[in-house]
Copies of this chain bind each other. A is one copy, B any other.
Amino acid sequence: MRMQDFSRDRLTSVSPDLSVDIAGVRFPNPVMPASGAYEVDEIHDNFFSPSELGAVINKTIFLHPRPGNPPPRIWETPCGMLNAIGIPSDGAEVFIRDKLPALRRLGPPVVVSIAGETMEEWIELAERIEATGMADLLELNLSCPNLSEGIPWSTEEKTLERVVSAVVSRVKLPVIAKLSPVVTDIADMARTAERAGAAALSMINTYKGMAIDIKKKRPALGNITGGLSGPAIRPLAVWAVYSAHEVVKIPIIGMGGIDGPAAAIEFLLAGASAVAVGMYNFIDPFTMKRTIEGIRTYLAEEGYSSVREIIGLAHVK
């Protein structure tokens, strides 16, 4: 009897700690949705409660309402999909009034994803979100490949530095810079964002790609090009995180093709402090829950007492 009690105690004591620290904010576990790929509503609440997540996040909002792109907006590709949604947005006012309070009430830290079309918009939007007092972190989507306004903000070092430091200088909220992988060396961009004052990085947004409908002999997407996401891009995203981890000290939220615990663990070992699930939410709405549970099992089986012990462990010194 005593033996059994003893072993039960031990089992309890080794149940691993999943919490991580992102820029001073404690995430109860390292798994969150990627912006734009998970809605918080009654439907999703019925699968599992979003309060079980490491953090919650909105689909990127702009200051002013936007309709998004004409269809077709998505197209399946091998182990991935292209999207050219174009970020339809209700604008800041509606978001702050209707959506943000609902996110706030869930429990996990709230990351608010924003994007500006001009430098002034970035600043105004950041300030307005901060003023609500309902956000824990601000994510700057510097990397959407579907905007007709030109190349993403984070594909050019000077522009990246300018927008990050402008926002950082105006708000006290920790700022996450979400980077585009469509660059020659993303580690340079990670370093630039850190230098400009970003408190964390989200890596990566989608890769620019396209498909052609060979029946119609035209680009498959209404917007011609789109962003590639899904398991297809995982090896590229893991490398992006790994290479950034070598040069920055700020925490990284890793994403790109995570479809379950094994993929999430790859990112953690590569140096991500947390991970986000995008496209795979569409395929299996339980992906994030499975991922949290699977990370816990992996840590227990491999004898770790905290997920923090495996962050960056794959780096060859």
Q: Looking at the assembled complex, report how far the CB atom of A87 sits from the nearest CB atom of chain B, in whole angstroms.
A: 20
A266 to B219, CA, bound (A): 9
How many copies of this chain are found per oligomer?
Answer: 2
Closest B residue to A241 using CB positions: B210
Q: Looking at the assembled complex, report how far the CB atom of A162 sits from the nearest CB atom of chain B, in whole angstroms.
A: 17
Complex contact B298–A234 (CB within 8 A):
no
Choose from B78, B156, B298, B310 the contact partner of A79 (Cβ within 8 Å).
B78
Closest 7 CB pairs of A and B: A209-B235, A78-B231, A79-B79, A232-B232, A78-B79, A210-B239, A212-B266
Residues of B within 8 Å of A259, CB to CB, are 78
Complex contact A313–B217 (CB within 8 A):
yes
A210 to B267, CA, bound (A): 11
A226 to B239, CA, bound (A): 9
Residues of B within 8 Å of A231, CB to CB, are 77-79, 232
Complex contact A211–B155 (CB within 8 A):
no
| 27 pairs of residues in contact across A and B, judged by CB atoms under 8 Å | A78-B232, A78-B234, A79-B80, A80-B235, A82-B235, A151-B184, A151-B185, A156-B184, A182-B184, A183-B184, A184-B184, A209-B235, A209-B236, A209-B239, A210-B235, A210-B238, A210-B239, A210-B270, A212-B269, A212-B270, A214-B265, A217-B269, A219-B316, A224-B316, A228-B236, A232-B232, A232-B233
